[in-house]
A and B are shown apart, each in its own frame.
Chain A
């Protein structure tokens, strides 16, 4: 295997052809330039990845057209031909010299065009990446009522641009790494140099360097490799498809990772507090947001607890209910043949099935599945006396509240835990539920996200006292003078002077 370029263009082309054997999308355009001395050149690129118009117009076109080059005599000036070509001929914006074979191949595979020139053991790499891609659309999983409507696409450069547009500061650093032995996926690390906690950054880079895998298909794959505890059902890294969310996180000292081919950026460190925030929170009025945030905590509790509480109360502790409700509940279960556990497990499983099939099928069929599942099965199950009407309410409440958790993966963790709690409740009633919750709390408390306690700021390790102002509730922006403290940023103050105690000074 040839490691570096040789002087002979034919040999170089031969090597590249060998590497790309049976790759139908490789294009090697051989040309000869010059009137007096004809110099062999070759432009190599991958069809579809490189912008053809761009190459033919500004590279090959200019090579043919350039007067000086035509008259150029090879003798005596051999070594500077490359420079002349790059400095005076080609009109492209990104041009680099290269001589290592590996890098050249990488460049070709990434959509750049390589220009080989005969008798020169270096080549030019011309930036010509351009491939069909989705246009910037509205993010589908995180819609907002008020706020920007842009979402990330699958193209790394577009995505970093979307972030850069929001942070016009040289302190925004974008470092790119390639991860994946075969996929060679570009991974960009974004951070604010003067805000970010360097310890977290170093830790992240170490973890990224340790990854040795053939391909990174999506940011979620990367996520599972750099998480602190990959066995946990809870994500320790937040994902978002909103550039404004990324920008806001960067400002608060967090680090973003954008992976090529993935519209989801990763944000870290993530905590219980951040995972329960949606980007809408920054745009709506404080009173509403404070209310919604409390509501989300309730939603978490309902998602985890409601079916198991139903089991515990109906099968173990009917004394906990108000008397009249006890009678009605007992009356509604007269004809139900199953114990409450079976009833709950049955309905919750049905619901998970419906949700799964609903997400896989889009469009009109998906709606049908929803209607059939929600209305008909529920109604029929009650009519047939398989489940009690209250169970249907419980199931509905669970589902609705699980969707109120902004981060999908986070919600999934709780949804799974719900089944464990149902099992606990069926053995030891309310006490079993409490044991299950203790295990859940212990698990959450033990989790770290890049050295930051996952349960922050509810676990008391925030350095600053005011952390609850922007997690449990959202105080008016005037009161949020400091950046969130959980990442322990270098630069702590976000807002200077001017506002104090809600009054203009």
Chain B
């Protein structure tokens, strides 16, 4: 009997004093994007903007209209910001479902601060390490506010995230997760982050910002981003237009194979990049029916497209080598993995070596299918 009494009292004690972590699901706020800006005014260095779904607008018995709330504060760090905001809201934030982190343009230019924030996010137990990174054109806060207005794009998981998730349909930008960003920086000191901007009523994600040692040094446009993706062998579906016989040839890239080859000439490093592109013909006006079955014509078309792609790739490489001196192409990584001895020699002043490197690109295009009509 005594034993049972003791047991009961222990259990009662646990129930009354226990439940340390219990917070009901409807008593938390689940932000999906956070924007971080440099504070131009006085006080703490950052402006933290958090956007989270309004759960009162979800479901059959929705009582409220606004689907997304955006709120911002000035704080010393991301977590400080989230904490401060909780005092203004009815419930605390829970960052596990955080999907997108946006860096404001001014902030991006400060490598130290970017690093500090990324380190904080990476160190945190709760935040998912697959969180997507974005660099804003202008203020991150404006982008998040813009997302509010973009009615056409509104989805429950957050506009930006849904757009980034669908990056397999385009190569104009490449979604970058936190892990991959840090890994790329660790490898070669350079990583890309897609760029986001307000475009009329909608949001637009395009191109990539180059971060060298966590510092924003410049950005690539959509086609250049595609060129980088091609060289890295990470290209997804995308369209290329090429002039051919006076008409426009539209070609859909499905995938590409990349072979890299080291060609050492005397003292300078040389690299040959062979890109084999696979795809289908999308659009072309045929003038003569008989020619349709001519393989020679197809070959000519392939050459035309290859020419366009090669030009684009060459231009991008030059841009990266001369202007940015940043190896966003993964060449350093390639050397490290496949020519480790060489890498040891050049890694010390890799940026210089990279910009002086002789990179030769050969593009081969295959048209495998030509659509339903002849």
B67 CB → nearest A CB, Å: 10
Segment at the interface with A among B14-22, B133-141, B273-281, B283-291: B14-22
Segment at the interface with B among A239-247, A283-291, A317-325: A317-325
Known contacts A318-B30, A319-B96, A333-B26; decide if A328 and B15 are in contact (CB<8 Å): no
* Contact present for B22 and A339 (CB under 8 Å): yes
* Contact present for A326 and B30 (CB under 8 Å): yes
Partner of A331, one of B21, B23, B58: B58
Residues of the A chain whose Cβ atoms lie less than 8 Å from the Cβ of B14: 427
* Contact present for A331 and B24 (CB under 8 Å): no
Residues of the B chain whose Cβ atoms lie less than 8 Å from the Cβ of A334: 26, 55-56
A195 to B154, CA, bound (A): 71
* Contact present for A326 and B21 (CB under 8 Å): no
Partner of A323, one of B28, B61, B157: B157
Known contacts A323-B30, A328-B58; decide if A427 and B97 are in contact (CB<8 Å): no
A283 to B61, CA, bound (A): 50
B99 in contact (CB, < 8 A): yes
Residues of the B chain whose Cβ atoms lie less than 8 Å from the Cβ of A313: 25
Q: Closest residue to A315 on the B side, CB-wise?
A: B22
A429 in contact (CB, < 8 A): yes
Partner of A426, one of B22, B96, B97, B99: B22
B357 in contact (CB, < 8 A): no
B363 CB → nearest A CB, Å: 40
A429 CB → nearest B CB, Å: 6
Question: What is the total of A-B residue contacts with beta carbons within 8 Å?
Answer: 74
Partner of B25, one of A326, A423, A427: A326
A318 to B14, CA, bound (A): 23
* Contact present for B15 and A330 (CB under 8 Å): no
* Contact present for A336 and B26 (CB under 8 Å): yes
Residues of the A chain whose Cβ atoms lie less than 8 Å from the Cβ of B222: none
* Contact present for A315 and B26 (CB under 8 Å): no
Residues of the A chain whose Cβ atoms lie less than 8 Å from the Cβ of B157: 323-324
**Chain A: interface residue total (CB-CB under 8 A):** 26
* Contact present for B25 and A314 (CB under 8 Å): yes
B343 in contact (CB, < 8 A): no
Known contacts A324-B157, A326-B30, A328-B59; decide if A318 and B21 are in contact (CB<8 Å): no
B128 CB → nearest A CB, Å: 8
* Contact present for A340 and B32 (CB under 8 Å): no
* Contact present for B53 and A319 (CB under 8 Å): no
Q: Closest residue to A333 on the B side, CB-wise?
A: B26
Residues of the B chain whose Cβ atoms lie less than 8 Å from the Cβ of A331: 26, 55-56, 58-59, 62
A330 to B96, CA, bound (A): 14
B126 in contact (CB, < 8 A): yes
A340 to B19, CA, bound (A): 12
B304 in contact (CB, < 8 A): no
Interface of B is mostly: loop
A332 to B56, CA, bound (A): 9
Partner of B30, one of A330, A336, A340: A330
A499 in contact (CB, < 8 A): no
Residues of the B chain whose Cβ atoms lie less than 8 Å from the Cβ of A323: 30, 32, 97, 99, 157
Q: Closest residue to B28 on the A side, CB-wise?
A: A318
A312 CB → nearest B CB, Å: 10
* Contact present for B19 and A319 (CB under 8 Å): no
Kindly supply a per-residue 1/0 record for chain A positions 267-303, scoring 1 wherever the CB is within 8 Å of any chain B CB and 0 otherwise: 0000000000000000000000000000000000000
A423 to B21, CA, bound (A): 14
A318 to B22, CA, bound (A): 11
Report B81-110 residues with CB < 8 Å from chain A CB: 94, 96-97, 99
Q: Which one of A331, A333, A339 has the greatest number of beta carbons of chain B within 10 Å?
A: A331
A316 in contact (CB, < 8 A): yes
A167 CB → nearest B CB, Å: 49
A327 in contact (CB, < 8 A): yes
Kindly supply a per-residue 1/0 record for chain A positions 416-440, scoring 1 wherever the CB is within 8 Å of any chain B CB and 0 otherwise: 0000000100111100000000000
B150 in contact (CB, < 8 A): no
Residues of the B chain whose Cβ atoms lie less than 8 Å from the Cβ of A330: 25-26, 28, 30, 55, 58
Q: Which one of A334, A336, A426 has the greatest number of beta carbons of chain B within 10 Å?
A: A334
A329 in contact (CB, < 8 A): yes
B50 CB → nearest A CB, Å: 15
B156 in contact (CB, < 8 A): yes
Residues of the A chain whose Cβ atoms lie less than 8 Å from the Cβ of B61: 335
Residues of the B chain whose Cβ atoms lie less than 8 Å from the Cβ of A314: 24-25
A339 to B15, CA, bound (A): 14
Q: Closest residue to A338 on the B side, CB-wise?
A: B24
Partner of A319, one of B26, B56, B58, B126: B126
Partner of A333, one of B15, B25, B62, B94: B25
A428 to B21, CA, bound (A): 8
A426 to B18, CA, bound (A): 9
Residues of the B chain whose Cβ atoms lie less than 8 Å from the Cβ of A315: 22-25
A339 to B25, CA, bound (A): 9
A330 to B55, CA, bound (A): 7
* Contact present for A318 and B59 (CB under 8 Å): no
A427 to B11, CA, bound (A): 10
Report A303-362 residues with CB < 8 Å from chain B CB: 313-316, 318-319, 323-324, 326-336, 339-340
A259 to B28, CA, bound (A): 59
A423 to B53, CA, bound (A): 31
* Contact present for A327 and B24 (CB under 8 Å): no
A419 CB → nearest B CB, Å: 13
Known contacts A314-B25, A324-B156; decide if A319 and B59 are in contact (CB<8 Å): no
Q: Closest residue to A429 on the B side, CB-wise?
A: B21
* Contact present for B18 and A427 (CB under 8 Å): yes
A491 to B53, CA, bound (A): 68
Report A368-391 residues with CB < 8 Å from chain B CB: none
Partner of A318, one of B32, B56, B96: B96
A318 to B96, CA, bound (A): 8
Q: Which one of B18, B25, B30, B94 has the greatest number of beta carbons of chain A within 10 Å?
A: B25
* Contact present for A327 and B156 (CB under 8 Å): yes
A314 to B94, CA, bound (A): 13
* Contact present for B97 and A326 (CB under 8 Å): yes
* Contact present for B19 and A426 (CB under 8 Å): yes
Q: Which one of B15, B24, B53, B56 has the greatest number of beta carbons of chain A within 10 Å?
A: B24
A333 to B58, CA, bound (A): 11
A337 to B22, CA, bound (A): 15
Known contacts A324-B156, A327-B156; decide if A319 and B97 are in contact (CB<8 Å): yes
A322 CB → nearest B CB, Å: 9
B162 CB → nearest A CB, Å: 11
Q: Which one of B19, B32, B53, B99 has the greatest number of beta carbons of chain A within 10 Å?
A: B19
Report B1-54 residues with CB < 8 Å from chain A CB: 14-15, 18-19, 21-26, 28, 30, 32, 53
B116 CB → nearest A CB, Å: 24
Residues of the B chain whose Cβ atoms lie less than 8 Å from the Cβ of A324: 156-157
Q: Closest residue to B19 on the A side, CB-wise?
A: A427
Please, could you name 15 A-B residue pairs with CB atoms under 8 Å apart, sorted by A?
A: A314-B25, A315-B25, A319-B126, A323-B99, A330-B28, A331-B55, A331-B56, A334-B26, A336-B26, A339-B24, A340-B24, A426-B15, A427-B18, A429-B21, A429-B22
Report which A residues bind B (CB closer than 8 A). Answer: 313-316, 318-319, 323-324, 326-336, 339-340, 423, 426-429
What 8 additional pairs, Cβ within 8 angstroms, besides A324-B156, A327-B53, A336-B26? A314-B24, A319-B97, A323-B99, A323-B157, A331-B26, A427-B18, A427-B19, A428-B18
